Amino acid sequence: MAARETVTAIYDDIHTVVGAVRSIREEGYEDVSVFGPIMEAELEDAIGKPPSPVRRYALIGGLTGCISGFALTTWSSYYYPLVVGGKALASIPAYVVIAFEMTILFAGISALIGMLIHNRMPTLTLHAAHQPGYTDDQFGVRVVCEPSRTAAIEEMLRSYGPDEVRVER
């Protein structure tokens, strides 16, 4: 692959960023990334990446929790069979509570683990393009492209009134 160039524009308003990203995407550029202190659904739509797979982690975690909740309670009641209060060994209504709590616990933990895995967190090395302002009041739009298109992109980003535009070759 040929050498690629990076154009970074810094804005201070998320609505501008949405416009900038949308126009870049409309031109067919794929490799756009955005940095910022906040994120909005509108901007996520503009970036146009597929929904996060984190939801699947939550589902699988929840199902695992539910099944293991019922399994633990029922199995241990038969394994250690003591009659209490004349109740059945598999007292399902009582075990629903345990299964419910374990569903929640597992779903929550696996959603978080999914997020960490997909974000490659925790890490000690920040993203190479990170700047301190990105967690304060600056939004960065970073486009990686063929050298031939750098100028066009730079102009497009400038048209949205950035604080600063940088080109790295």
Per CB under 8 A, the list member of 87, 155, 158, 161 interacting with other proteins is 87
Cβ atoms of 12 and 137 closer than 8 Å: yes
Pick 48 or 147: Cβ nearer other proteins = 48
CA atoms within 13 A on the CB side of 162: 25
| Contact with other proteins (CB under 8 A) among 28, 85, 148, 169 | 85
Q: Binder to other proteins among 6, 16, 23, 33 (CB under 8 A)?
A: 33
**Contact between 101 and other proteins (CB under 8 A)?**
yes
Position 100 contacts other proteins (CB under 8 A): yes
Element (H, E) at 168: strand 164-168
168 binds other proteins (CB under 8 A): no
Q: Which residue in 47, 50, 66 sits closest to 58, CA to CA?
A: 66
CB closer to other proteins, 23 vs 52: 52
Region at 13 (left for phi over 0; alpha for psi -120 to 50; beta for the rest): beta
Q: Rule CB under 8 A: is residue 166 a binding residue for other proteins?
A: no
Closest CA to 24 of 121, 152, 128: 152
**Part of the chain binding other proteins (CB under 8 A), chosen from 1-9, 22-30, 31-39, 144-152:** 31-39
Q: Write the secondary structure of 131-167 as one string of H (helix), E (strand) and C (coil).
A: CHHHHCCCEEEEEEECHHHHHHHHHHHHCCCCCEEEE
Site residues for other proteins per CB under 8 A: 12-15, 33-40, 43-44, 47, 49, 51-52, 54-55, 58, 62, 72-73, 76-77, 79-80, 82-87, 91, 94-95, 97-98, 100-102, 104-105, 107-109, 111-112, 114-116, 118-127, 129-130, 132-137
